[in-house]
Amino acid sequence: MQTIESPHTLLIIDDEENMRHMLQAMVGRHGYAVETAADGAQALQLLAGRRFDFILCDVRMPVMDGIAFLAAARDFLERTTVIMMSAYGSIDTAIEAMKAGAYDFISKPFKADEVIMALRKAEEREALRQENLQLRQEIEAMRGAGGFSRIITNCPEMQAVLKLAAKAARYDSTVLITGESGTGKELVARGIHEASPRRDKPFIALNCGGIPENLLESELFGYLKGAFTGADRSRRGLFEEAEGGTLLLDEIGELPLPLQVKLLRVLQEREIRPLGSGACRKIDVRILAATARDLASEVQTGRFREDLYFRLNVIHILIPPLRRRRMDIPLLCRHFLEKVRKEMGIEIKRVMPEVMELFDCYGWPGNVRELENIIHRGAVIAEDQTIRVEHLPQYMKDKRAAARCLDDFNGLSLKQAQEIMEEELIVKALDETNGNRVQASKLLEISYPSLLSKIKKYGIELG
């Protein structure tokens, strides 16, 4: 394996001996380890014995030209970047070379800087490719095992959660999954199903808070034709649809009390009774429940039945919020950027360090879902394949400014806190107006003389 200290290897293919010597001397001065070949056939012989990082290849050569070489060497060039050269440069020739697998095209005669710049550009591309490959490998290594492959984590607390979920998956025990909104409760539930003996049967998720109370019962248990006005045909409920599989009752804390009684009976008797039916039907469904609410507190206030709570809470899985697994943020960012690339064709090569610093100190009330949305937004509006602070939502930037103020403020004096905030806002207004004090005073809603006085008071330097 080539170390970082090793020089890049370069193969020059050109039928003109003077061109080969000139290029060898030129790039050799920049640290490349160079070998040469007079045509494509000689180059193939060299490639059969070793791999080169980069290849500079002429288009027109005897025996085997550059385009024919690219076609013949395809199997050897998987990890090699090829730059084509030609004294007969044209758009058609360049397009043909690119289609054949070349990365770049240089027209002869060229200046020394053009060749070096093309090689440096190729180096950056190769470094990025290697980085992306390494990141993909890291992400794959951090994915949960078994049915939990959608979950990416390097956090010990989250890994303990997945270990418990994997154990629970083996059995039909009822599982209660709790955690803040956006932490991935449904992903864990799907993982339990996919790691269970029921993996080949349906997995159905129902948001108990997303369906009106008068429709929720028929959605769960089904109904017979004529059971109520508008029931012109019989319909199976979700318990029957999930037969043999798993039913996730998401936001179980939103379930109305009358339906809590009926759900308790289902858990106890393993049977349901569709609306309009006088007979019960046996079911074979594993029940998982999820909620962002504190069900123990809901029991205390009478909004959730205690007996149902204990029936659901056989195995309790608590998913930590993102602010408690900050080490996962870089991994998740890379995963979401790769997802954006695959789904939308948007390539983001860099997230600025100050963005990652902001991510690291942000509270993440929306957890992983919020992070995904912010990465998606940043990727869409980024202009140079780089996500910067200005591409983040305004509320994050406001939080950043507030955090700076708190970092600078160590006491309890309201006057001191007000001055810190005032200075921060003045600097921000001047930045947004490119130092135009008249416009800044209007943004701050203070008089121009007052702004000048405060600039002097706080010693704010104008660029």
CATH of the domain at 422: 1.10.10.60
Same domain, yes or no, for 186 and 241? yes
Q: Are residues 27 and 129 in the same domain?
A: yes
Total domains in the chain come to 4
Q: Are 202 and 284 members of one domain?
A: yes
On whether both 306 and 161 belong to a single domain, the answer is: yes
Q: What is the CATH number of the domain that holds 352?
A: 1.10.8.60
Same-domain status, 73 and 161: no
Looking at the structure, tell me whether residues 339 and 243 fall in a common domain.
no
Q: Are residues 133 and 170 in the same domain?
A: no
255 and 384 assigned to the same domain: no
Q: How many CB atoms lie within 10 A of CB 163?
A: 13
Interatomic CA distance for residues 27 and 113, integer angstroms: 10
Q: Per residue of the chain (463 residues), what is the pLDDT tens digit?
A: 343 346 788 899 998 888 888 888 888 888 888 999 988 888 888 888 888 889 998 888 888 888 888 888 887 887 788 888 887 766 777 777 787 788 888 888 888 788 888 888 888 877 777 766 665 565 555 455 556 878 888 889 998 999 999 999 999 999 999 999 999 999 999 999 999 999 999 999 999 988 888 889 889 998 888 878 777 888 898 999 999 999 999 999 999 999 999 999 999 999 998 888 888 899 999 999 999 999 999 999 999 999 999 999 999 999 999 999 998 998 899 889 989 988 999 888 888 888 888 888 888 888 999 999 999 999 999 988 889 888 988 877 765 545 554 454 555 566 666 777 777 788 878 877 878 888 888 888 888 888 888 888 877 766 5
325 occurs within a structural domain: yes
Is 87 in the same domain as 183?
Answer: no
**Same domain, yes or no: 162 and 30:** no
Domain boundary among 320, 351, 378: 320
Is residue 145 domain-resident? no
78 & 95 share domain: yes
112 within a domain of the structure (yes/no):
yes
The residue range of the domain holding 340 is 321-408
